[in-house]
Structure 1
Amino acid sequence: MSNLSKILRIVGVLVLLIVGAWVIFHPVSPGTETVAHQRAIQGIAYGEQKPAAIPSMSGGIVNPVTINLADVEFEPIDSMYDRWLRGEIDLDEQEYRLPPAEVQALKESALNMGPQKGDSSPLALGESQPEQLAPTLLFGFDALDVSDCCGGGTTVPPDSDMAAGLNHLIVVENSSFAIYDKTGVLQIGPILFDNILGVSGTFDPTVMYDSEDDRYVMGIEDGAKFYLMVSNSSDPTGTWTYYAFDARFYGDEFFDYPHIGIGDHAIFMGANMFNGSVPGGYEGRIYAMDKNAAYAGAAMSWRSASTGGTGGTPQPLNLTGFQQGTVPQPFNTHFFITDQYDGHTADLWAWPNALGTGTPSIVQTYNLDTLSGWTAGFPIDPPQNGSTDLIAGNDWRFRGFEYRNGEGWTTDTVSFDFGSGTVDMVRYFRMDLSGAPYTALQVKGFGWTTSNMIFPDLAVDHCGNMAIGWERSDATIFVSVEFDGQLAGSAWVSGSPTQLKAGEATYFSFDGSPLRWGDYSGMAIDPDGKTFWYMGEYAKNISGYQANYGNYIGKFTYGCNVGSSPVADFDGDGDTNISVYRPSNGNWYDIDLGMTSWGLPGDLPVPGDYDGDATTDIAVFRPSNGKWYVNGQGTTKWGASGDVPMQCDYDGDGSDDIGVYRPSNGNWYILGSSFVSWGLTGDIPVPAD
């Protein structure tokens, strides 16, 4: 054997010994998880459940039960704290759609994401001048708090929501509800859901107002059954009808997080289903319930379908604008938005003929990272003032899905690093629902650079102005409530949020850090089409319970001019014509002259005699661009987003002048004249001779 061969053999043995020692003694813990790797793993895990290939239909018929709120007797019930002490529930067990270790890895990845800079980056609050005006706060009041749950017990998370009708507000929390008038005076309640339904262990309440039929709708669950409650009239303090049915498809899964939306012929609901016989341990599920039967107090049919393992937390579209005539009827195909739990993939589902034989399917998929130009991170758990206990930020599921003027709006919490470390911020997403291909119209994010925003909700008024509220927390403040908004036609929110309610104390709870908060808040648009109501949770200075949250309601507006049906002399015969303007399609209908197409959805009717010929001219004002379109007379740019059009003969020359009132500063701007300052922020213009 040559010396070279001997040397090579010795080196080979040494290499084997070194490698063996490294294998034996080297730690085998996995490396840091990344968002990209996590998304790849989720794709594999859900690979067998193609959303478009499901839909695993089910359904049934359920009989009504009538109840009178005045007859409900209060009886203390077991709170979640009581059940937690007995070991019956784990508050975090079904909060996420991934195992705890994978969720923690996503949070760590978010904390280490690093700054993202670019022209398309989210809006950093406090670092830029407001582009537009925020909604004007009119007043606010305290609503339900931790003491209203169970007769002395404590239930977390609060799960707060609200709805606004013609004369009443309904607010819900885990697990009670109360009814107020519109000045904030309590009319009835708090009433425990368990008491009114004669069951135990209900949670995840939601509430909506149906402006098409002037009814209130509430939903709640117990992990297996869903309870749908509808008011029997426009007065929610009277009698109600409820329907209870087992919402599970397999019969042994955990039914969670049901959220309702008002449709034209049905009340829709989406929910998460965990464990049991569910393939892969998770799926989303959507439901349609016959609202006409429910409002009639008759036996109600329902149908459901699966959205699969990637069709998570389905949010049903909630139709608003019936009273302003902006909802196309019949609205036979309903929509849902789902997320694939990767922070960027959103699926739009369409369900035609939901109460008949229709099958839901995905009609568009959106990549929100690509559309926005920046990468969203998994929500982190924010710190708070006065304690090392963190506030649970939960996850990046969508919260709500609102319809207005042919568009769909939704929002969620994501994390981002503006340069001072990772924080939770608000993202909102708007798409065209008037027809395929359901184009994405806007994906925006905004946040405080060193503070956190969690559990947002939004609504949109008749003019296309959006209002959005959230809860805020960081190491220097107690958990508080804020709101902002985006004027129609604007690219951003104002950037100057309003604090609705300051936190009063360090938050504590029996469940341990991160302390459960949320799981949602409630924004509602009044049926008047211009007034917003928002209920958010704050850390309250209250003792004697195992947590200290409160809810606060604010009323605010952009001063949208909803307009009215134009009644004027359109043919110059000296008599008033009976006429209407239909905002949903821009058509004018005159009983004598027939139909004239003049305007687009979202335009405001501004009929007037602009040329002084004693005949009323058909005209619209477009809030998105501040332009006036007068039939036969061209276009005039006069006004800005948020202005209220006020056409009138201000100079007495026999013709109407183009003018606007600006609620933000109380100024009147009349074309051809200098502006007049007359009014204060929030005033309502009333020009007259």
Structure 2
Amino acid sequence: MKIRLLLAVAAMACATCAFGATPVTLQLQRGGTTVPTTTPLGGAPLTALELDPAMTSGDADSGDGYDMGNKPVVNRGITHGHAGSNRMGNGGRAKSSPELLGGFDGLNFHDQRYANGGNQFSVEPPDQGLCAGNGFVLESVNDVLAIYSTSGTRLVGPVDLNTFYGYPAAINRSTGAYGPSITDPSCYYDAATQRWFQVVLTLDRVGTTSALSGTNHLDIAVSKTSDPTGAWNIYHLPVQNNGTQGTPDHGCASGFCLGDYPHIGADAHAIFLTTNEFSLFGDGFYGAQIYAISKQALASGSSSVSGVLFNGGDPSIPAPAFTVWPAVSSGGQYAGANGGTEYLLSSDAVFNDSGTSTNVWVWSVSNTQAIDSTPSALALNVSPLTVQQYAVPSSLAHQKPGSTPLRDCFAVPACVNNFLGYPSFVYPAPRDLAVNDSRMQQVSYANGKLWGTLDTDVLLSDGSHGSGISYFVINPNSGVLFANGTLALPDANLTYGAAAVTQSGRGVIAFTVVGPNDYPSAGYASLDAKVGAGDVHIAAAGAGPWDGFTGIPYLGDDRPRWGDYGAASADGNTIWIASEYIAQTCTLSQYLTAPLFQCGGTRGALSNWGTRISAIGL
């Protein structure tokens, strides 16, 4: 196994580890501008080219291999083992949801596949980006975007992300030309500057062919005003880190690094973007990358923007830098000590053969006020924190039985051969779906505390393994844990947790609830620094089982993918959450009724995922 595990075991006992290495300075240039404009839904219900050939492959999360024939191009994992010792978390089902102010269905697979006149690929899983502020809610899901009023009225969307970022269509079905491949959207509304920030990972092609060229970049769209329906500036940050386009050379195998799994955070002075750096075309993990970029320069639309890069793969760093998630701040609350500080969290169970850990890592970047004058003066620190044991979830999630027309069609040769054009294959109904690994999920800084969650293995009441959510409320200066526990149900999985917190320190964890008695449903629980997590509430119950293409032979991904991350956003005393769930159900007969495979516009041929956006009052 060719993975650079940059963990100095002896250093794990350090209280605070600071690093003197000078960060790499960067300059971002402003590119074009964009205005989000709804693109028409349409196109053929199914084509001979539904999946992006450059992005279709197996998944590495189920083992140690990084061979090209058995790894995904993006959203890669590092899983070395599964839990040998598990415990049941604490949690019950609430009888009502008094805090639920309302909600509405967000983007779904039908929007994704048929946006821009159908010049899109079928994409699974639905990676979730959500942010809210100034009377708007913005949602971006692979590979579409929509903007809503807080009453749930869709103001713009769906907008395919290729169009939003000014690129040709993902696939031009008239000419066969490919546009860049876009993935992993996330967004943030910054109350201090009253600007919206939308980030994606973009992989360039060789001309208009399906082949990837190797160059890849984070595309950062920044609204020109507080209104996200208006104009935005676009900046490009190259992340191939091979010495080209102003990047440092990290020596990734086969010549190109990949800036995988980007996420966004902010303090008073800088926008922070983090990635997991893998070799794009070869084997190897090279450590998380931490980018700090001048927030004021981005917000003002400057033609040139300063930034710095901290390489988490540097051998001097004693932490295993994987999914180092930067904190978003609630309502303009920031850590002002040490010239301005941004906090980040990461976990390390995926590096252990047991698949368990009692450590999380608290990272900080200080002196952020120097980002515009002396960027190299920013300083990186990291320290381990002992927490309750958590573990890599070791099982797929069972689903409640129900109608699965895609699965049913595959089981009948006359259906799958004639309608879908694939060989027949019979698999259990309903199919299990994948839960998350134990990487850190969304992090918030509020009320002087750092709040984070991750998925963990738990034992269900029937003795089987399932997924719950570990949560952490931390004093980032002293390392004191205000709250640390595991939220779980005895009969269902909780997965892809994301926490957001108000300025006063009242939080919500959003997640998906799925199990033998639950269709994939949008769930949430309260989070408090004194009492921990509350009961599990169902914001919207799933209408049927997940019925998607991942995990099906012939369709290029070995895992039945459900998601990679969720999202939540604090807006005053309201917390907006977006959870993946199933909003529809239909029979095989309805699936085969014209227009084919769309069940009245509620799904597409190859999947039926949806999202639920909910407002929680605190």
Q: 2 CA distance for matches of 1:84 and 1:281?
A: 29
Could you list the runs of 5+ residues in structure 1 that have no partner in the other structure? 1-40, 559-689
Q: Verify the 8 A CA contact 1:459 1:468 in the aligned structure 2.
A: yes
3-state SS of paired residue (2:299): helix
The TM-score, its normalising length taken from structure 1, stands at 0.65
Partner of 1:537: 580
Structure 2 counterparts to residues 426-505 of structure 1, below 5 A:
426-433=469-476, 435=477, 437-487=478-528, 489-490=530-531, 492-495=532-535, 497-505=536-544
Aligned length in residues:
496
Partner of 1:246: 238
Structure 1: which amino acid aligns with 2:467?
A: D
Q: 1 CA distance for matches of 2:577 and 2:382?
A: 32
Structure 2 counterparts to residues 607-622 of structure 1, below 5 A:
none
Partner of 1:320: 330
Q: 2 CA distance for matches of 1:348 and 1:58?
A: 22
Q: 1 CA distance for matches of 2:39 and 2:390?
A: 52
Q: 2 CA distance for matches of 1:244 and 1:462?
A: 32
Change (3 A) 1:274 1:314: same
Q: Verify the 8 A CA contact 2:193 2:296 in the aligned structure 1.
A: no
Q: Verify the 8 A CA contact 2:109 2:603 in the aligned structure 1.
A: no
Do residues 163 (structure 1) and 131 (structure 2) align? yes
Structure 1: which amino acid aligns with 2:516?
A: A
Could you list the runs of 5+ residues in structure 2 that have no partner in the other structure? 12-16, 168-179, 204-215, 243-254, 314-318, 402-428, 553-558, 585-601
Deviation at 1:460, TM superposition (A): 1.3
Change (3 A) 1:476 1:104: farther
Q: 2 CA distance for matches of 1:277 and 1:518?
A: 23
Deviation readout 1:124-182 (Å, 9 max, x if unpaired)? 425xx99xx97611111111111122424421111012111111110110011111111
Structure 2: which amino acid aligns with 1:63?
A: Q
Deviation readout 1:339-381 (Å, 9 max, x if unpaired)? 222442321122123531135444320232xxx2x55343522
Structure 2 counterparts to residues 6-17 of structure 1, below 5 A:
none
Partner of 2:399: 384
Q: Verify the 8 A CA contact 1:227 1:242 in the aligned structure 2.
A: yes
Change (3 A) 1:277 1:186: closer
Q: 2 CA distance for matches of 1:104 and 1:336?
A: 19
Deviation at 1:441, TM superposition (A): 2.5
Q: Quick one: which of 341, 353, 357 aligns to 2:376?
A: 357
Partner of 2:614: 554
3-state SS of paired residue (1:350): strand
Q: Quick one: which of 550, 564, 572 aligns to 1:519?
A: 564
3-state SS of paired residue (1:221): strand
Q: Which has the higher contact order (CA 8 A, sep 6+)?
A: 2
Q: Quick one: which of 118, 122, 125 aligns to 2:92?
A: 125
Q: Verify the 8 A CA contact 1:79 1:150 in the aligned structure 2.
A: no
Structure 2: which amino acid aligns with 1:233?
A: T
Change (3 A) 1:358 1:122: farther
Q: Quick one: which of 213, 218, 226 aligns to 1:226?
A: 218
Q: 2 CA distance for matches of 1:441 and 1:310?
A: 24
Please say which structure displays the higher CA radius of gyration.
1
Deviation at 1:271, TM superposition (A): 0.8
3-state SS of paired residue (2:533): coil
Deviation at 1:337, TM superposition (A): 1.4
Q: 2 CA distance for matches of 1:515 and 1:418?
A: 21
Deviation at 1:284, TM superposition (A): 0.7
Q: Quick one: which of 346, 358, 368 aligns to 2:360?
A: 346
3-state SS of paired residue (1:400): strand
Do residues 290 (structure 1) and 294 (structure 2) align? yes
Q: 1 CA distance for matches of 2:161 and 2:46?
A: 14
Q: 2 CA distance for matches of 1:226 and 1:78?
A: 31
Q: Which moved more, 1:286-295 or 1:77-86?
A: 77-86
Partner of 1:563: none
Q: 2 CA distance for matches of 1:396 and 1:93?
A: 16
Change (3 A) 1:277 1:71: closer
Deviation readout 1:94-131 (Å, 9 max, x if unpaired)? 66894379999979844xx4664xxxx631425xx99x
Change (3 A) 1:54 1:337: farther
Deviation readout 1:622-648 (Å, 9 max, x if unpaired)? xxxxxxxxxxxxxxxxxxxxxxxxxxx
Deviation at 1:276, TM superposition (A): 5.4
Deviation readout 1:521-541 (Å, 9 max, x if unpaired)? 111111x2x111111111232
Structure 2: which amino acid aligns with 1:332?
A: G
Q: Which moved more, 1:179-188 or 1:503-512?
A: 503-512
Partner of 1:624: none
Q: 2 CA distance for matches of 1:478 and 1:501?
A: 10
Q: Verify the 8 A CA contact 1:75 1:195 in the aligned structure 2.
A: no
Do residues 214 (structure 1) and 194 (structure 2) align? yes
What is the CA RMSD across the aligned residues, in angstroms?
3.5
Deviation readout 1:278-314 (Å, 9 max, x if unpaired)? 9953311110111111111111122211112811011
Q: Quick one: which of 154, 175, 194 aligns to 2:162?
A: 194
Do residues 307 (structure 1) and 287 (structure 2) align? no
Q: Verify the 8 A CA contact 2:221 2:233 in the aligned structure 1.
A: yes
Deviation at 1:212, TM superposition (A): 0.9
Q: 2 CA distance for matches of 1:147 and 1:54?
A: 50
Deviation at 1:485, TM superposition (A): 0.3
Q: Verify the 8 A CA contact 1:54 1:306 in the aligned structure 2.
A: no
Partner of 1:173: 141
Q: Verify the 8 A CA contact 2:99 2:617 in the aligned structure 1.
A: yes
Deviation at 1:46, TM superposition (A): 3.8
Q: In percent, how many aligned pairs have the same letter?
A: 22
Q: 2 CA distance for matches of 1:244 and 1:80?
A: 33
Q: Verify the 8 A CA contact 1:430 1:442 in the aligned structure 2.
A: yes
Q: Verify the 8 A CA contact 1:463 1:488 in the aligned structure 2.
A: no
Q: Quick one: which of 57, 63, 71 aligns to 2:29?
A: 63
Change (3 A) 1:407 1:226: same
Q: 2 CA distance for matches of 1:295 and 1:44?
A: 37
Deviation at 1:450, TM superposition (A): 2.0
Q: Verify the 8 A CA contact 2:109 2:604 in the aligned structure 1.
A: no
Change (3 A) 1:97 1:258: farther
3-state SS of paired residue (1:195): helix
Q: Verify the 8 A CA contact 1:230 1:242 in the aligned structure 2.
A: yes
